[in-house]
Chain A
Amino acid sequence: MAGFLARRFLGFVATLLATAIIVFVALEILPGDPAAVMLGVTATPETIAALRTDLGLDQPAVLRFFLWLKGLATADLGESYAYRVPVAGLIGERLAVTLPLTLMAMGLSTAIGIPIGTYAASKAGKLADRLAMGLAELVLSIPNFWFGILFVLLFAVTLNWLPAGGFPGWEVGFGPAFAALLLPAVALALPQAAIIARLTRSSVLEALAEDWVLTARSKGLSRRATLYRHVLRNALVPVVTILGLQFSYLIAGTILIENVFSLPGLGRLIFQAIGQHDIIVVKDLVVLFAGLVVAVNFAVDLLYGIIDPRLKRERRR
């Protein structure tokens, strides 16, 4: 297990490094001088040059790359060109919105998708199955930001139950903050729930055809008990795989959803930072996103070992 962990960790670092290089090079060839953008059209070449020196932009690219890497490693993410505050603080603030939002969406999509998929599989071919899968197909066709807008229309504008957007901050208390994240989380979760439901269904159906299902039934277990005690655990392995991939979709989805609900999260931050040529924020955020995605996939890999003992052994070798 230790060897496996070490190898995975090396892969983790390598992926992050590759991301960092790609992002740096991509943004290096970005047209537009951040100093000029920050100072606006009235800036003189002298003030721009002064600011460039101030920001360290006059140094060679390779040197700046390594300085940036050193900063990343020591959690010193530099200073935002646009907001003139440390990027680390900025990200921390925004993470308090995006992370709970993403986790809520992940929890919701799993909590909705797995039971529906399991139920559909247990009724395979029957009306309930067709309805559930038809619904999943429909949900997958609907953009999550339209879900967001419809939710605002229904629950905020018409019924006035929940806020239409914005975020009061966690310091005003859990209730209002949670309420502000609820609709966005549901909008983010629905398409993912549909994917999970479909995958769970096919995975459960596949497991139901296994020989050991008959063995379990031959012990006197009911169809239901066999499904819950034997089939589900085996069927969830591929579902867990998708959870890792899903995190990447969710992170991407936050960019849209945070805009729909005017939430001050990371998705909105990166979107604004790109608009403002706040390159350092963009670079840091992209690496952070990539890091999160890779870290979640890493966690998912560890989860496998718990669910499927066969995999654990393969890794011990």
Chain B
Amino acid sequence: MSETASPLIAVDRLAVSFGDPARPLAAVRQVSFTLAPGGTLGIVGESGSGKSMTARALIGLLPESARVSGTVAFDGRDLLANRERDWEAVRGRQIGMVFQEPMTALNPAHRIGDQIAEGLIHHHLLDRRAARAEALRLIERVGIARGRERIDAYPHELSGGQRQRVMIAMALACKPSLLIADEPTSALDVTIQAQIVELLSELRAEYGLALIVISHDLGVIADLTERTLILYGGRVMEEGGTSALFRAPAHPYTRGLLAARPGRHKAKGEHLDAIPGNVPAIADFPPGCPFFGRCTDGTERCRLQVPPPVAVGDSLARCWFPQGQASGGQA
């Protein structure tokens, strides 16, 4: 455990569900983690793993129909107890967010400079003129050439990579202490992906940001984060130091993910061929381990009982039959 005594954010048994309260559809179940100021965390999962819902819960932007429980302590305050007004003071100001789709995440009718400056003005950090100057500085900082012209451009006049840079500038404008990047590179070309990863890495150091990167791309996670959570079916499958976890995965799901990893030059898309079957619909997960059914080692116990976390090396795996466990007596 590398967390310090006072974490920036401490998530405890976060759960998000939808639908009929009597028969809820759980999108996120019992997710817990902590992150120190300036620390980094990767959250890995396929679509439907609950990773985006986790991110949106952290910034209070879940769909209206969602029910959420657990605690998200940020700087010692439970965000989940926030009223809407409190959230508005947190969003953008203390927690910034970069979304996946730069093509649709920017308002097409507003100039990019205005969109970057908007948060600064809204949080009363700067007046209009100073906010514009800061927007220009940010545009140049995130690596958009000819910032003076580009500040008045509309999103459609920029490339995908440039738009993602604008998104990053926007999320960082108010100097938040935590940045959540939800699939920051997934919609981009491979060469641009590397640039964006590099940029995030630089800015993290420069701003002293804590960073949560959500991705299905293990390369991005490896480049940007110290610790990683592997999410499947809304549950944490395995967690640990990123490099250790990737070097010696204990959970069959993590092993599957790593085996499916096609190197850095894979085409876009989240389908993982090395793991048989598809992610089931939320309602179809078994009562026990969500990976049961796609796991090659599944037993009746896996189907019925949720496995407790087991320490394997430096990682914690939630598996009845983790690989590399010292005792090995369970099999």
> Direct contact between A and B in the complex (CB less than 8 angstroms)?
yes
Contacts from A to B (Cβ < 8 Å): 210-212, 214-223, 225, 229-230, 233-234, 307-310, 313
Q: A214 near B91 (CB under 8 angstroms)?
A: no
Q: What 9 A-B pairs come out closest when comparing CB atoms?
A: A220-B92, A219-B92, A219-B119, A211-B104, A220-B91, A218-B97, A309-B154, A212-B107, A211-B105
The yes or no answer to B89 lying at the interface (CB within 8 A) is yes
Q: A219 near B157 (CB under 8 angstroms)?
A: no
B109 CB contact (under 8 Å) in A211, A215, A308: A308
Which of B152-191 touch A at CB < 8 Å?
A: 154, 156-157, 167, 170-171, 173-174
Report the minimal beta-carbon distance from A314 to chain B, rounded to whole angstroms.
9
Chain B residues, CB < 8 A from A308: 108-109
Q: Which B residue's beta carbon lies closest to that of A310?
A: B156
Chain B residues, CB < 8 A from A217: 61, 91
- Give the docked Cα–Cα distance between A260 and B99 (Å): 57
Report the minimal beta-carbon distance from A102 to chain B, rounded to whole angstroms.
29
Q: A225 near B122 (CB under 8 angstroms)?
A: yes
- Give the docked Cα–Cα distance between A210 and B106 (Å): 10
B110 CB contact (under 8 Å) in A220, A221, A222, A230: A230
- Give the docked Cα–Cα distance between A222 and B90 (Å): 12
Q: Which A residue's beta carbon lies closest to that of B154?
A: A309
Number of interface residues of B (CB under 8 A): 33
Report the minimal beta-carbon distance from B211 to chain A, rounded to whole angstroms.
16
- Give the docked Cα–Cα distance between A211 and B105 (Å): 5
A212, A223, A233, A307: residue with the most chain B Cβ atoms closer than 10 Å:
A212
Q: A309 near B109 (CB under 8 angstroms)?
A: yes
Report the minimal beta-carbon distance from A317 to chain B, rounded to whole angstroms.
13
A219 CB contact (under 8 Å) in B85, B122, B156: B122
Contacts from B to A (Cβ < 8 Å): 59, 61, 84-85, 88-93, 96-97, 99, 101, 104-110, 118-119, 122-123, 154, 156-157, 167, 170-171, 173-174
Report the minimal beta-carbon distance from B187 to chain A, rounded to whole angstroms.
11
Q: B105 near A212 (CB under 8 angstroms)?
A: yes
Chain B residues, CB < 8 A from A230: 107, 109-110
Report the minimal beta-carbon distance from A200 to chain B, rounded to whole angstroms.
16
Q: A218 near B96 (CB under 8 angstroms)?
A: yes
- Give the docked Cα–Cα distance between A48 and B190 (Å): 86
- Give the docked Cα–Cα distance between A28 and B89 (Å): 72
Q: B88 near A222 (CB under 8 angstroms)?
A: yes
Q: A310 near B154 (CB under 8 angstroms)?
A: yes
A218 CB contact (under 8 Å) in B59, B108, B157: B59
- Give the docked Cα–Cα distance between A212 and B154 (Å): 14
A214, A220, A233, A307: residue with the most chain B Cβ atoms closer than 10 Å:
A220
Q: Which B residue's beta carbon lies closest to that of A214?
A: B61
**Other contacts beyond A215-B97, A220-B122: 5, CB < 8 A:** A212-B107, A217-B91, A220-B88, A230-B110, A308-B108
Report the minimal beta-carbon distance from A274 to chain B, rounded to whole angstroms.
46
Q: A215 near B91 (CB under 8 angstroms)?
A: no
- Give the docked Cα–Cα distance between A307 and B96 (Å): 29
